[in-house]
A and B are shown apart, each in its own frame.
Chain A
Amino acid sequence: MSKLLDIEKKYIKEDIPDFQSGDIIKVHIKVGEGKTSRTQIFQGTVIRRRGAGINKTFTLRKISYGIGVERTFPLYSPVIEKIELLSKGKVRRAKLYYLRKRTGKKAKVRKKVTIKNMTK
């Protein structure tokens, strides 16, 4: 088993912020266009984290021009350049699929109020 972990270790990134369902994060994605590549940003609420080891993934949901958009990323994909944690959310479950049925203000996750946030 440990030899399998050794193979995965090479691809596992250490510098990923600790984020959970309900948090709002910003993902910098490398997009290749022929020979050149540029960075695209996808920002949204984390509605799910799943998997183990190298196969961990997370799903972001955002409302773009009134239409709900979800995108799933492999957590350790080399395509992801950077993940920024923008705010923590206050949620009571791990999978926020209930957001899909909701619209407007109800489709939002309340922000977690921490001492750090309050001083701002």
Chain B
Amino acid sequence: MNVIKAIIGKKLGMTSIYDENGKAIAVTAIEAGPCIITQIKIDRIDGYNAIQIGFGDVKAKKLNKPIKQHFKNKGIKPKKVLMEVRVNNTKDFKVGDIIKTSVFEKGDVVKVTAISKGKGFTGAMKRYGFSGQPASHGAQYHRALGSTGASSYPSRVFKGKKMAGRHGYKKVSALGLEVVEVNEESNVILVKGSVPGTKGRIVLIQDMGKRRGK
């Protein structure tokens, strides 16, 4: 059977481990799965092919009626998080299938999607990487965003002009991360490098269809 190489998890935090050459590598630990397939979306009905997966148990009384009924219809225990993963062919999957950390193995290249850390209201320099103005040589204007447009024409600021504002807390994917270790007993996946979001944030790990190393 074709397994779906995607799993939902919780970011535990970062640490480092040593590889076989004695080199330290920074890793992010993600407590992933077990997840369950809660719905299969097919092109004919939903307009696209996707698998909906659920992660983490929740009390039924915490949910609203439509979602409660969704689980009831499928005969699945209520889940805290539901996410969708696009697939080309839905034939290999059925509702109730369990996805465990073992779908991944060492050397897989994955993409990790999560909501990034919120940065609050930030200036244009931090938010969009603007250069700002000189720090010295008599400048009295340091971190401002600069000109927002011409004068009499258009007499307004164009929509979408990059300005200061809320930064972060947006869905972000970290691409091309390597799976370093998979622990099936403790449901922990170690991924090389950093992953968006705070500790405890829900992340989605998806295979990128590549392999690194042997």
**Residue ranges of A at the interface with B (Cβ–Cβ < 8 Å):** 1, 3-4, 6-8, 10-11, 30, 32, 53-55, 74, 76-79
Q: A6-B188, A77-B24 are in contact. List 4 more A-B contacts (CB 8 A).
A: A1-B12, A3-B29, A7-B181, A30-B22
Q: Does B21 contact A (CB under 8 A)?
A: yes
Q: Is the CB of B22 within 8 A of A11?
A: no
Cβ of B108: which chain A residues have Cβ within 8 Å of it?
Answer: none
- In the complex, the 7 A-B pairs of residues with the closest C-beta atoms, listed nearest first: A79-B22, A78-B22, A78-B18, A4-B13, A4-B12, A4-B15, A3-B12
Residues from 1 to 17 in B contacting A, C-beta threshold 8 Å? 12-13, 15-17
Cβ of A74: which chain B residues have Cβ within 8 Å of it?
Answer: 24
Q: Is the CB of A54 within 8 A of B17?
A: yes
What residue in chain A is nearest B187 (Cβ atoms)? Answer: A3
Cβ of A11: which chain B residues have Cβ within 8 Å of it?
Answer: 17-18
Q: Give the docked Cα–Cα distance between A30 and B22 (Å).
A: 9
Q: Give the docked Cα–Cα distance between A32 and B20 (Å).
A: 12
Q: Is the CB of A7 within 8 A of B15?
A: yes
Q: Is the CB of B18 within 8 A of A77?
A: yes
Scoring A7, A11, A55 by chain B CB atoms within 10 A of each residue's CB, the highest score goes to A7
Cβ of A3: which chain B residues have Cβ within 8 Å of it?
Answer: 12, 29, 31, 186, 188
Q: Contact flags (1/0) for B174-186 with A, using CB distance below 8 Å?
A: 0000000100001
B residues contacting the other copy or chain, number (CB 8 A):
15
Cβ of A30: which chain B residues have Cβ within 8 Å of it?
Answer: 22
Q: Give the docked Cα–Cα distance between A55 and B15 (Å).
A: 8
Cβ of B190: which chain A residues have Cβ within 8 Å of it?
Answer: 7
Q: Given A7, A32, A79, which contacts B17 in the complex, CB threshold below 8 Å?
A: A7
Cβ of B24: which chain A residues have Cβ within 8 Å of it?
Answer: 74, 77
Q: Contact flags (1/0) for B10-52 with A, using CB distance below 8 Å?
A: 0011011110011010000101000000000000000000000
Closest chain-B Cβ to A26's Cβ sits at a distance in Å of 19
**Residue ranges of B at the interface with A (Cβ–Cβ < 8 Å):** 12-13, 15-18, 21-22, 24, 29, 31, 181, 186, 188, 190
Q: Give the docked Cα–Cα distance between A11 and B22 (Å).
A: 11
Q: Is the CB of A77 within 8 A of B15?
A: no
Q: Give the docked Cα–Cα distance between A32 and B19 (Å).
A: 14
Cβ of B31: which chain A residues have Cβ within 8 Å of it?
Answer: 3
Q: Is the CB of B29 within 8 A of A77?
A: no
Cβ of B186: which chain A residues have Cβ within 8 Å of it?
Answer: 3, 6
Cβ of B22: which chain A residues have Cβ within 8 Å of it?
Answer: 30, 77-79
CB contact under 8 A between A53 and B18, given known A3-B29, A74-B24: no
Cβ of A8: which chain B residues have Cβ within 8 Å of it?
Answer: 15, 17
Q: Give the docked Cα–Cα distance between A72 and B16 (Å).
A: 17
Cβ of A78: which chain B residues have Cβ within 8 Å of it?
Answer: 18, 22
What residue in chain B is nearest A77 (Cβ atoms)? Answer: B22
CB contact under 8 A between A55 and B16, given known A3-B29, A77-B22, A78-B22: yes
Q: Is the CB of A7 within 8 A of B18?
A: no
Q: Given A1, A10, A32, A54, which contacts B16 in the complex, CB threshold below 8 Å?
A: A54
Cβ of B21: which chain A residues have Cβ within 8 Å of it?
Answer: 32
